[in-house]
Structure formats: structure tokens, C-alpha cells
Amino acid sequence: MFNIAVLPGDGIGAEIVPEAVKVLNAIGKKYGHSFRFTDGLIGGAAIDAVGVPLPEDTLKLCNESDAVLLGAIGGPKWDTLPVHLRPEAGALLPLRKALGLYANLRPAILYNALINASTLKREVIEGIDIMVIRELTGGLYFGEKKREKTPAGQSAVDTLVYSTEEIVRIARLGFEIAMKRKKILHSVDKANVLESSRLWRETVTELGKEYPEVELIHMYVDNCAMQLVRWPKQFDVIVTENMFGDILTDQASMLTGSIGMLPSASIGGNVGLYEPSHGSAPDIAGQKKANPLATILSAAMMIRYSFNLDREAEAIEDAVVRVLDLGYRTPDIMEDNGKPVNTEEMGDKVVEQIIG
């Protein structure tokens, strides 16, 4: 029995998460596993219900579960609240911190059926399969912040701190994942300017001695941003710090077309958190237009990384490929001759492929 905390959150979260649950139930039925789902409140939905974006009950539920499946949080309704009450700052960051999730894994895989959805040329992107690993609990987003009055107005400070320990644990994950793939690891920093990046580079280089089979390439973040659109096929695994990773993961993911296709896993602690890379898409919420595949693929990552069910994870991923090959498309990935489906129908198509 695997206990899964289900946090649909806001906007399209409530539409896409049930599709992933449906797919997991199909997997459970086919392969003889039992998944128990318990719902919890988070984000704007939690603010509306109980006044805070991350209620104690939700935190307890997550801590007591084997994994967490999250939809998305946030929306215009809560954008003007004080920072500590806003869905992201008040829920997502503290949840990651509380669960000790120091690594965010975001695969960027190009599905052949969607090659035309990318804005880049076919020959540049064909066959790309990149894993971007972002450090998630250190750096600028968690450093001390302050504002001060100055004679001319105000000054603001964000602090960027990294310790050797934080760098080693994320870099080790990078090397370990590279060992299971093509054994090429790009470590991305800004060591020509930032002291924290110089420590990053020294530490990763030292750790690299333990992994002689992995080709370690250091790259400045500005160059990496350029190389990702110039020649993305050079990348296999990328490991980087929090803010650079925030930006590069979005950029890498867009190589593949739609944000509605991109899963993510946050791991490192006892309980992993799995969520689509996109937000709550308030512009299409409630219209059954949302693509549930990112969430379904996040569920595949969940059963792979948290439950070690590799065969079952592959069954989900293969089912998604087949559904795309059959031409089924939600509006975000629609193309000529595509067969239009809504959120729920897309989930049903994946289930059909799993059950066979």
C-alpha cells in the first residue's frame, strides 16, 4: 500500500490532478498495487478555507505520506496578499523546505509526435532528452532579505549563500543520475563573477574525482542559456543552483513545445513531491482545456523515484507516447489533423492505453 497526499491547489490543479489519480488507479489495477489517496488543502484554496496557504494539517498529511502529488497553486485573487500569505512564498517554498526537498528534477524530452509544437527547428531539437537538476533549498531564494530607507528612496538586499555540504549533495545526485544516462554532466555557475559560484565549481570539480567515468563540463549560466537554444543535443544532465535552475528549467522545457507536457520531481527528503512544471493557468481554469499530461507524467516520476516501480512508470510514459502518436491533442498542443480532446478525455485515453 502506497499512501499519496493529493494537493490539487488552485486553477487547473483541480482539473488535472484527478486525471493523474485515475491513471495511477489503472496502474494499481493492472500491476496489483494499491494506492491510497488523501486530499489536502494548499495555496489559495487553503487561504480561502482556513486563512493560511499551508495549513498544519496539510503539512502533517504530507509528512505522513509516502509521496505528495501537487497540482498548481496561485492566481490573481491572492496576488496582492502580504508575501508570507501568498501561495508560492507561503506554501510552496516552506513545503519544500519542511520536506527537505533539496533537488528538483525536470526532464525535457521531445516527443516525436510533438516536434512541430516547438518553436525551434526540427534538426536542432530532434531526439533531445535532457535532465535538469536544480538545487532547491539554498541560494538567493532562501538567503536573508532586507529593505532599508536611503536618502534617495530605498535599497533592497537578497543574500546568496551556499555551503560545501549543500553543493556536494546536489552535485552527487547529478553525477549519480549522469552515471545512469550518457555520463555527461554540465555544472552551471557564474564563477567569473560570484563567490558562491567559485565555491560551487571547486566543490563539483573535487567531487568529480569520485566519478571518473562522467565527463564533467563547467559552463557559465549565460553561455548555457545560449547553448540550450543553439545546440541542445550537447546536454544530457545539467546540475545548477536554485535561481539559475529556476530560469534554465523553464528554458529547457520550452524546447519541447508545451509547458502542459512537463513533469517535475522534488526529492532529497523522506517524502518526494511531484508536480507539473506549469502554474495554475487561471486563463483557462474551469474550461476543461488544460493538458493533464504533465501531471500524469509527474505521477510516473513519483512511482519511479519514490516507490521504485520502474516498469509501471515506463507503462505510463509509453501510454502517453501512444496517445500522442494516435493524434489526441488538448488545445495547447493542437496541430493540423489533431484529434481534439478535453482534459478528462485525455486522461481516459492514457488509461485505455495502460489497460490495453
137 residue type, one letter: T
Alpha helical stretches, state H, the chain? 13-31, 44-50, 56-64, 87, 93-98, 122-125, 164-179, 195-208, 221-230, 242-254, 293-305, 310-325, 343-355
Interface residues with ligand NAD (CB under 6 A)? Answer: 12, 72-75, 88, 92, 259-260, 275, 278-284, 290-291, 294, 332
Edge-to-edge strands, sheet with 129-135: 35-39, 2-9, 67-72, 272-276, 263-267, 103-109, 129-135, 237-240, 184-189, 215-220
Residue 141 bears catalytic tag: yes
The answer to whether 283 is a known catalytic residue is: no
The residue from 48, 57, 158, 222 that is catalytic is 222
Q: Is 79 a catalytic residue?
A: no
Using the minimum distance from each CB to ligand NAD, give the nearer residue, 96 or 186: 96
Cα angle 65-70-71, degrees, rounded to a multiple of 5 = 155
Q: Kindly state the smallest distance separating residue 284's Cβ from ligand NAD, in Å.
A: 4
- Rounded Cα distance between 300 and 108, Å, is 15
**91 or 309: whose CB is closer to ligand NAD?**
91
The catalytic position among 141, 211, 274, 328 is 141
- The Cα–Cα gap between 133 and 191 comes to 18
Compute the least distance from the CB of residue 322 to ligand NAD, in Å.
20
Q: Is 190 a catalytic residue?
A: yes
Residue with cell 544516462: 181
For the bound state, the minimum distance from the C-beta of residue 16 to ligand NAD, rounded and expressed in Å, comes to 6
Q: By C-beta, is 161 or 243 nearer to ligand NAD?
A: 243
Query: Hey, what's the cell of 59?
Result: 503539512
| Least distance to ligand NAD, CB of residue 209, Å | 36
Q: Closer CB to ligand NAD, residue 232 or residue 263?
A: 263
* Residue of 30, 111, 129, 250 marked catalytic: 250
Please list the active-site residues: 141, 190, 222, 246, 250
